Chain A
């Protein structure tokens, strides 16, 4: 009983509906933010067309030539309108014939055609006069047509000639243009060449100048280096003399040694003048003198060293030579 009651109370949870509403609200807010807070329209950049011309005159010439060839046919369809009656059928035939130079062929079909169409009439009337009239008319017509054809031919020729002239003129113009451009190009190239040469000359001069400057600088440097070296050498000599003097001042000379014995030592120094190691390099023959010198070297530490630490390398391994007699 009691547990059942307890379970019942556990199952009633507060704010289930409210939680659902809030969850929905969160999503709606998010979607609204997505839709209005974000620019979903993608605008592609406007396209740009670029034609690359390597040589200007030639591409223009070809398109011009083609229209000239095509232009010749159009005048012929325009021609029939000017002519009074000629039937369109024969009209198409006369055009090729002028090329042959014989105007006769077009006549025959014309007459035959006319005969076919007009014969029924004279048969009915049976009139010679009418026939003659007809003949005369036909002749006149033929003459007229012939004249027309000739005119047509003439006009076409004139047109052709005109077109040819036009083309020739255009070609000449283009030729001129091309020549001018070539001239210009050549001039430009020459100018460029000249400029290049000048540039080269200038560069060479600059190079020379630079080399000279470099040389001068090197020389100056060498002189400076030599001076520095000389100074360093003098400095080193000075300090070596000082070291030797200090050592000598500490030597307690053993008395009455015959001759002038010489003791040579290798002394290893530490920066600051301390002595790391003293080794006998060449004995003087008198152990008393050798030991006196060694003791003096050990006593005279710190040895005087130049203040410039760069010079220490010269003193790292010192070669000390001590004569018994000065």
Chain B
């Protein structure tokens, strides 16, 4: 008779007793959360490395190292080059292809274009998966809410068959439904934070690359004029 002496409301019980739709929603959210965390960590490593390598390269570059030596070091197959190095390599190789007799403006234009292309490719690489984080951050609360609304609808519908309605009839259903919202928020909050952080980081890197490109073209132009 008295089924609920101590009702077991453990997490697994609540999830396993939820309706199939809510379970699907939860599964989706779990996957989204896992993926977004994976991307968060990957991006954090990538961006950290990019910043560190750019620091090193700029340090070397402005210390007055020979451009040829830098080029050789960057293109050696053993060495994992950084984004800034790749931009440098693209610009420098394009610059060295021209024979000394050609017009300086033409040389500089093509050099700039080569660097621009590499820069765009690098930015694209740095920005991959950021859109995924943004999507998870904005959509997963809604998905969780959908699961919750569905679960609450079900629990209220089952309530209509009961003559004497008590809170005990709906409470487990609502609790299990609210887990969906909790999961949605759990997936969304870190994704949004990471997205904002990484966007600002990549923008900082982009301005650094752009200014480096301008400075490098100045250096190359001076070299061509000599």
Contacts and interface: CB of A to CB of B under 8 A. Distances in A.
Nearest to B7: A42
B80 interface: yes
A40 B93 CA distance: 65
B45 interface: yes
* Residue of A2, A13, A35 ringed by the most chain B CB atoms within 10 A: A13
Measured as residues with beta carbon below 8 angstroms from the partner, the interface class of chain A is 20 to 34
Contacts of A23: 34-35, 37-38, 40-41
A22 B77 contact: no
Nearest to B82: A9
A242 interface: no
Interface in B1-49: 4-11, 14, 30, 33-35, 37-42, 44-46, 49
A41 to B, nearest CB: 6
A142 B9 CA distance: 77
A89 to B, nearest CB: 45
Contact of A26 (B4, B37, B39): B37
Nearest to B2: A47
B8 A41 contact: yes
B4 A14 contact: no
Contact of A22 (B37, B46, B49, B81): B37
B187 to A, nearest CB: 10
A99 interface: no
B40 to A, nearest CB: 7
A31 B118 CA distance: 43
Q: Identify whether the interface residues of A are mostly helix, strand, loop, or mixed.
A: helix
A43 B6 contact: yes
Interface string A31-42: 100110000111
Given A9-B80, A10-B125, A24 B34 contact: yes
Interface string A13-56: 11110111011101100110011000011111000000000000
B35 to A, nearest CB: 8
Contacts of B86: 6, 9
Contacts of B30: 27
A22 B122 CA distance: 26
B212 interface: no
Contacts of A5: 77
Contact of B41 (A22, A31, A41, A42): A22
B207 to A, nearest CB: 21
A26 B81 CA distance: 31
B61 interface: no
Contact of B42 (A13, A41, A42): A13
Contacts of B150: none
A12 interface: yes
Nearest to B38: A23
Nearest to B10: A40
B41 A44 contact: no
A292 to B, nearest CB: 88
A35 B45 contact: no
Contacts of A2: 75, 93
25 contacts: A2-B93, A5-B77, A10-B121, A12-B80, A14-B46, A15-B42, A15-B45, A19-B38, A19-B40, A20-B38, A22-B37, A23-B35, A23-B38, A23-B41, A24-B34, A34-B11, A35-B10, A35-B11, A40-B9, A40-B11, A41-B6, A41-B7, A41-B8, A41-B10, A44-B168
Given A12-B80, A27-B30, 6 more contacts: A9-B86, A23-B35, A23-B38, A31-B11, A35-B10, A41-B7
Across the A-B interface, the 5 shortest Cβ-Cβ residue pairs:
A19-B41, A23-B37, A19-B42, A15-B45, A23-B38
Interface of B: 4-11, 14, 30, 33-35, 37-42, 44-46, 49, 75, 77, 80-81, 86, 93, 118, 121-122, 125, 168, 171, 186
Interface of A: 2, 5-6, 9-10, 12-16, 18-20, 22-24, 26-27, 30-31, 34-35, 40-44
